[in-house]
Each structure stands twice: as C-alpha cells, then as structure tokens.
Amino acid sequence: MERLYASWRHAYVTRETHADGCVFCRAQALPEAQALIVHQGGTAFVILNLFPYNSGHVMVVPRRHLASMAALTHDELVEMAELTQAAERVLTEVYRPQGINLGMNLGRPAGAGVADHIHTHLVPRWTGDTNFMTVVGEVRVLPEEIAQTAERLRPAFARVLAGG
C-alpha cells in the first residue's frame, strides 16, 4: 500500500480556533502572513487559502473585522464584489478552470471556519478534480505549492484590476 503524507494538514487539524486571534486580521499585520495576500484593495483584500481545496483557492476579505454582510459599508460591499469579479477573471486566465465554486458561509452552523470575519471563497474546479483521495483518504492532492500560486496570481490581479 502506498502512503501519501500531507504533513501540512497537521497544523490545520490540530489548530486551536481563535488561539491567536483572527487569521484575517493577523494576515494584514504579520509579514509572514502577508505572503498569502495576492491583492490589496482599499477596504478589502484577496488572500490565498492556507488549506486550499484546489490550487488557486482564494478568498476576498474585508479589512475590517466583521461577522456579517449587513455590517459592511457600501464601499466595502462594492469593493468585495469588484474583487470577487476580478478574482473570477484572474482564476480563469491563470488556471483555465471549467468552473468556479463561489461562496460565503455566515456563522459556524453554516460551515464558516472563521465565523467572526466574513470572507468569500473562490475555488477553481475541473471535471473529475474530486478524486478518491479527498473522499476516502481525507487528503487533498495539490499540483503546486502556495508560494507558486501567489507568484502566478499577483501579476494577473495587477493587470486585471488596472483594466488590462
């Protein structure tokens, strides 16, 4: 029997939620966490998911620590929508997915892993990308490292958001 070790998942499955505060607030403040940010906007930013479902899995996050869409200002809501639209364009250009999952989970019962800071997920998808490893082995097999994903996405976000 072959074994595939996904040692990066250990940090996820053994983490204490909220032990060090909000992951999205920390990402804006800590240099090592900023490496995951692929675009910085005025009121929102786009960040790679540290534990992605697929390569290119990004999240659009307001800078302010908010738990609901209703708490967003008009400007925050508009920028989140614009960055979500830009992320769709970027993922389509860079990864050429056959589909994209787009979603937001409000509250822990709805599936939110970070319930107190809203965020929108965009996950590139391809026909047949869910294989037995995810279903049976509870392991994700990703074709590239997160740092490589960031290198691929940053210039595309700059270009798309500049109108090119």
Detail the DSSP E strand segments found in 17-153.
37-40, 44-48, 58-62, 99-103, 120-125
Pairing of β 99-103 and β 58-62: unpaired
Active site residue 119: yes
The residues, any chain, with a CB within 8 Å of residue 47's CB and separated by 6 or more, are 24, 27, 36, 37, 38, 58, 59, 61
Detail the DSSP E strand segments found in 58-113.
58-62, 99-103
Mean pLDDT calculated for residue range 118-135: 76
Mean pLDDT calculated for residue range 8-29: 69
For the chain, give the percent of residues with pLDDT over 90: 49
Residue 19 reports pLDDT greater than 70: no
**CB 74, CB 41: distance < 8 Å:** no
pLDDT digits (tens, 9 = 90+) for 26-56: 999 888 778 899 999 999 999 999 888 888 9
pLDDT digits (tens, 9 = 90+) for 65-86: 999 999 999 999 999 999 999 9
In degrees and rounded to multiples of 5, residue 83 shows phi and psi of -70, -35
Band (pLDDT 50/70/90 cuts) for residue 149 is confident
Q: Which of 65, 64, 38, 62 is nearest to 49 (CA)?
A: 38
What domains can you pick out in the chain, each with its CATH number? 18-161 (3.30.428.10)
Q: 39, 57, 119, 121: which one is catalytic?
A: 119
pTM: 0.76
Which pLDDT belongs to residue 93?
Answer: 95
Mean pLDDT calculated for residue range 119-144: 69
